Amino acid sequence: MYKSLLSNIDGLNVWAIVGLLLFMMVFLGTVIYSICLSQKFTDKMGHLPLEEDEKEGQNNVK
């Protein structure tokens, strides 16, 4: 039933191509952004969850 319904929709191939191109642009943009990040920044962000608070024993949650 769905196969015959989807085959009768005009322009369905256009939307499939648009969706694929949009996905590829977002994916490639994310990859390029992650490659262009500086090593200093990625090291800082990577160690951030492991750092101790300046005031030990106090909960800084707001």
Q: How many CA atoms lie within 13 A of 52 on its CB side?
A: 4
Domain ranges for the chain, please list them.
9-44
**DSSP code string of 13-47:** HHHHHHHHHHHHHHHHHHHHHHHHS-HHHHHHHHH
For residue 32, what pLDDT is reported?
A: 96
For residue 10, what pLDDT is reported?
A: 74
Closest to 17 measured CA to CA, from 29, 5, 25: 25
Whole-angstrom distance, CA of residue 24 vs CA of residue 22:
5
- Average confidence (pLDDT) per 10 residues, the chain, 62 residues: 68 84 97 93 85 61 54
